[in-house]
Chain A
Amino acid sequence: AQTVTQSQPEMSVQEAETVTLSCTYDTSENNYYLFWYKQPPSRQMILVIRQEAYKQQNATENRFSVNFQKAAKSFSLKISDSQLGDTAMYFCAFMKSGAQKLVFGQGTRLTINP
C-alpha cells in the first residue's frame, strides 16, 4: 500500500518570502502521479501542480514549483514570492497510474503573514 507523509503540520512565513513544503511517499510502483492540492478556508480542494513520475523535469506553475526526487521518494513544493492568498492547508497526494484513488498526506497548514 502507498503512503504519503507530510512532516510539517504548520508553517508560517512573511509575505514575499519563499517557502518549501515537504512530502515523502512510499510505493513500489514505477508509474504514478504526484500532486499538491491547496485547501483555502473555503474548504474547496484546488489542484496546484501535478508531476508525472516518468518525467525527470520538475513541474512548474507560475510561482509554484516542485522538487521531485524519484529515488528518494521526495516531492517538495516551493512557493516563490508568497502572497496572502497562499494561506491555506496544502495536501500532497499520490495516485498510481490507472488507479482511481488518491492517497493523501496529513496536510501542512501554511500561513502567510503581512
Chain B
Amino acid sequence: EAQVTQNPRYLITVTGKKLTVTCSQNMNHEYMSWYRQDPGLGLRQIYYSMNVEVTDKGDVPEGYKVSRKEKRNFPLILESPSPNQTSLYFCASRLAGGLSSYNEQFFGPGTRLTVL
C-alpha cells in the first residue's frame, strides 16, 4: 500500500530532551516536507526536501533540523525542544513535476507532540 508513515504518533517529552520524529514513504517521491498544525494558524511548512541531500527552510524552521540521506526517509529533529513546539506534525511527500504539472501531495497520519 502506497503510504507515508510517521513515528511516533504520540509523544510527550520535557524541555531540552532531544527527539526525532521519523517519516518514511514507499512511493519513490522526490519531494518531502514537514508541516506543523496549530489552532487558528492552519498548517505551516517547517522544512522541505527536493531530493536526497537537498533540503531547505520553510516558513517556520526555527528550532528544527532535518536530513535526507535516503530518498524514502525524512526525519525531523528537535535538538532542544521547547513548549512552543507543542503541536501536531505532518510529513508529506509527492512526485516532482514540471512547472506546469501537478502531482498530489500525500500526508502522513500526524504526530502529536507535547513538550512540558
Contact surface of A with B, Cβ cutoff 8 Å: 4, 6, 9, 31, 33, 42-45, 47, 50, 52, 91, 93, 97-98, 100-102, 104-107
On chain B, the number of residues with a Cβ less than 8 Å from chain A's Cβ atoms is 27
The answer to whether B50 touches A91, judged by C-beta atoms less than 8 angstroms apart, is: no
Report the nearest A residue to B107, measured CB to CB.
Answer: A45
- A-B interface pairs (CB < 8 A), number: 57
Q: Contacts A44-B109, A50-B102, A52-B102 known; A101 to B48 CB distance under 8 Å?
A: yes
Q: Contacts A91-B43, A106-B42 known; A100 to B100 CB distance under 8 Å?
A: no
The answer to whether B99 touches A98, judged by C-beta atoms less than 8 angstroms apart, is: yes
Q: Which residues, 15 to 42 on B, are CB-close (under 8 Å) to A?
A: 31, 33, 35, 40-42
Q: Contacts A45-B90, A100-B48 known; A105 to B42 CB distance under 8 Å?
A: yes
- Minimum CB–CB distance for A11 against chain B, Å: 16
Q: Contacts A31-B100, A98-B98 known; A4 to B42 CB distance under 8 Å?
A: yes
Give Cα A95 to B33, complex, Å. Answer: 14
Contact surface of B with A, Cβ cutoff 8 Å: 31, 33, 35, 40-45, 48, 50, 58-59, 88, 90, 92, 97-100, 102, 104-105, 107, 109-110, 112
30 A-B interface contacts by CB (under 8 A)? A4-B42, A9-B40, A31-B100, A42-B109, A43-B109, A43-B110, A44-B109, A44-B110, A45-B90, A45-B107, A45-B110, A47-B104, A91-B42, A93-B43, A97-B99, A97-B102, A98-B97, A98-B98, A100-B31, A100-B33, A100-B50, A101-B45, A101-B48, A101-B58, A101-B59, A102-B35, A102-B45, A104-B35, A104-B43, A107-B42
Chain A residues with Cβ under 8 A from B97's Cβ? 98
Report the nearest B residue to A96, measured CB to CB.
Answer: B99
Give Cα A98 to B105, complex, Å. Answer: 13
Chain A residues with Cβ under 8 A from B109's Cβ? 42-44
Q: Which 4 A-B pairs have the closest CB atoms?
A: A104-B42, A98-B99, A45-B107, A104-B43
The answer to whether B44 touches A104, judged by C-beta atoms less than 8 angstroms apart, is: yes
